[in-house]
Amino acid sequence: MVPERTVGMTQTLSLLPPQLMTTPPLLTMTGVSRRYGDVVALHDVSALVYPGEVLGIVGESGSGKSTLLRMMNLEDTPDTGDYRLALPDLAGNLFGLDRFARRMLCATRIGIVYQNPHQGLLMQHTSSGNVAERLLIAGERSFASLRARGRTALEASEFPLDRMDARPIELSGGMQQRVQLAKAIALEPALLLLDEPTTGLDVSVQALVLDTLKRLQRDGAITMVIVSHDLGVIRTMADRVMVMRRGRVVEQGLSDQIFQDPQHEYTQQLVHAKL
Amino acid sequence: MTPVLQVQNLCKHFEMHHLGQRLMAFEGISFDLHAGEFLLLRGPNGVGKSTLLRTLYRSYLPRAGHILYHTTEGRVDLARAADVDIALLRRREIGFVTQFLIARPRVAAEDIVAEPLRRAGVAAADALKEARRWLDEFGVKRDLWRAYPTTFSGGEQQKVNLARALILPQRLLLLDEPTASLDVGARAALVRRLGDLKAQGVAMIGVFHHPGDVADLIDREIELTTSEVCEDVAV
């Protein structure tokens, strides 16, 4: 008899390891656990993300999805676990890197967009300055080149260039997210992390920001991990979906399968609760 | 000759946790499909024809059985293949055609149609040229090509959807009532395109409300019955 996929789920066939996909995953996270006092934030979480893929992570508040994303951005270290990115000159468990090496890695190879622009931006600096800061960390020193590369990144984020010297504090929420996105992609990162990037935006603005992300994905084949409690956002963006609850992964699968044929009781509740 | 697809004892049911119920969709489905063959799924409404197509595409997870698909790189059991392998096959060689378009805000009709070619590595200008040819073939008016299909009528959206779904020849094509609510011209274009693809060796499995639309293409039929047994009927 075929073994069950996971305890508590419908009895389905267990899946085989990849056979046709011969490219190794860009991101490999294995057995990540983290407690904060008595609270289990993450319990034995593993994830794979392949080059060019968009992985969506869904779950309610407190499910651990944002904590997991912070781990991917090396902002926190788990109690146990292993994290690797298949990039040149980068070997071993990234959780073992010192602070300086982490900072360089995050600045040059990983981009992140937070739900709250205050977290990702210096609100009193100019928008172009926010993008340039990222380039400065990576060693860019020529003013002309800083300006040109900042411009390119803002343009790719579909930010209106006549406002590139406006401060984020003067901008709308949708525009602030575009500045964050420009900063995140300025160095053409291998991995783009998105933490509730459209939560709190008007629906029409949300659609535009999602469309920008789709374009980036199509044109540049950027590998992305997107966290959201909004199933519509995940459905639009993700190739594969991971469902989290209470710090654990309860189910994962192809995006259309998760939404059309959810296996786990919790995923069924989640999908059926959507309007 | 090795078939493209060998379905063996395929079984699907849905576990509805909130009801504590198990809904049987089908079981014991077996058939082979060869290159260039067109298989029609028949049976009354609700018997599981679309469910079977979605299970073959892996939008639904099978409960048991095998879906052996023969690729140039070896045999893959779609019932158990890794999600990334399924995603890869969907990009390269397994297509699913429905009557519904998933339109996205701010993406022009011609870009939606060109997208599968772009993803397959075709240059932007060539993909666009080919996309326009197919929009024309399916009877979408020229002044709509650069417009956003979110605002189109149902019929026009469906034509865009068909052009997109059929622009890149696949090895296996799953057709879920693609002719429903199409006008005569578009239906003729669809049947022509399916005939060409069949001649090129594309294997097809289809559900049609009016099978008469594709009568000339059908090689074999499978009758699904509510008793969850299937019969293989030769035409």
How many angstroms separate the CA atoms of A159 and A151, rounded? 9
Task: Give the residues across from B40 on adjacent strands.
Answer: B206, B221
Tell me which residue in B58, B74, B85 faces A21 most closely, judged by beta carbons: B85
Mind giving me the DSSP string for chain A?
-PPPSSTTB---PPPPPPSS--SPPSEEEEEEEEEETTEEEEEEEEEEE-TT-EEEEE--TTSSHHHHHHHHTTSS--SEEEEEE--TT--S-GGGS-HHHHHHHHHHHEEEE-SSHHHHS-TTS-HHHHHHHHHHHTT---HHHHHHHHHHHHHHTT--GGGTTS-GGGS-HHHHHHHHHHHHHTT--SEEEEESTTTTS-HHHHHHHHHHHHHHHHHH--EEEEE-S-HHHHHHH-SEEEEEETTEEEEEEEHHHHHHS--BHHHHHHHHT--
Q: What is the pLDDT of residue A12?
A: 61
Confidence (pLDDT) at A8: 44
Are the C-beta atoms of B96 and B174 separated by less than 8 Å?
yes
Buried b (16+ CB within 10 A) or exposed e, A250-269: bbbbbbbbbbebbbbbbbbe
Q: Which residues of chain A have pLDDT under 50?
A: 1-8, 10
CATH class for the region spanning A26-86+100-109+189-275: alpha beta
| Token pair for A99 | 């602070």
What per-residue confidence (pLDDT) applies to B228?
47
Cα distance between residue B85 and residue B82, in whole Å: 5
CB contact under 8 A, A13 and B63: yes
Query: Distance (Å, rounded) from C-alpha B162 to C-alpha B189?
Result: 10
Structure tokens at A59: 């779950």
Q: Write down the mean pLDDT value for chain B.
A: 90
Span B28-59, pLDDT tens digits = 999 999 999 999 999 988 889 999 999 999 99
Q: Give residue A212's pLDDT.
A: 83
Nearest to A157 by CA among A178, A131, A128, A188: A178
What's the CA gap between A167 and A121, in Å, rounded? 10
Which of B59, B74, B119 lies at the smallest CB-CB distance from A261? B59
B105-123 burial by CB neighbour count: b if 16+ within 10 A, else e? eebbbbbbbbbbbbeeebe
Given the structure tokens 């199509």, which residue do they identify? Answer: A218
Residue B179: both structure tokens together: 């002719």
Nearest by CB to residue A261, choosing from B61, B74, B83, is B61
- Residues of A near B (CB-CB distance < 8 A)? 2, 10-21, 50, 53, 207-208, 211, 214, 218, 236, 239-240, 252-254, 256-257, 260-261, 263, 265, 268-269, 272
CB contact under 8 A, B87 and A257: no
Give the H or E element holding residue B117: helix B109-119
Pairing relation of β-strands A223-227 and B64-71? unpaired
Residues of chain B with pLDDT > 90, as a percent, come to 63
Model confidence pLDDT, tens digit, residues B44-97: 888 899 999 999 999 999 999 999 999 888 899 999 999 999 999 998 899 998
Which of B10, B11, B13, B15 is the best residue to mutate to test the A interface, defined by the most A CB atoms within 10 Å of its own CB?
A: B15
| Alpha-carbon gap, residue A253 to B103, rounded angstroms | 23
User: In this structure, which amino acid lies at residue B30?
Assistant: S
Burial, A90: exposed, middle or buried (Cβ in 10 Å; 0-12, 13-18, 19+)? middle
Cα B82 from chain centroid (whole Å): 20
Are B16 and A20 within 8 A, CB to CB? Answer: no
Residue B12 pairs in a beta bridge with B26
Coil/strand/helix, residue B56: helix
Q: What is the reported pLDDT for A275?
A: 57
Q: How far apart are the first and last CA of chain B?
A: 21
Shortest distance between the Cα of B82 and any Cα of chain A, in A, equals 5
CB B214 within 8 A of CB B194: yes
User: What type of residue is A165?
Assistant: D
Identify the pLDDT of residue A130. 92
Other Cβ atoms closer than 10 A to B32: 16
Q: CB of B24 within 8 A of CB of B62? A: no
Domain ranges for chain A? 26-86+100-109+189-275, 121-188
Integer-rounded Cα Rg, in Å, for chain A is 19
* Cα–Cα distance measured from residue A114 to residue A216, given in angstroms and rounded to the nearest whole number: 17
**Interchain proximity A254–B83, CB inside 8 Å:** yes
For residue range B197-209, list pLDDT tens digits in order.
999 999 999 999 8
> Could you give the angle at which helices A203-220 and B109-119 cross, rounded to 10 degrees?
30
pLDDT at B229 over 60: no
Cβ atoms < 10 Å from Cβ of A100: 8
What is the distance between the alpha carbons of residues B216 and B213, in angstroms, rounded to a whole number?
Answer: 8
Q: What is the pLDDT of residue A220?
A: 67
Q: From chain B, pick out residues whose CB is under 8 angstroms from the CB of A19.
A: 74, 76, 81-82, 85
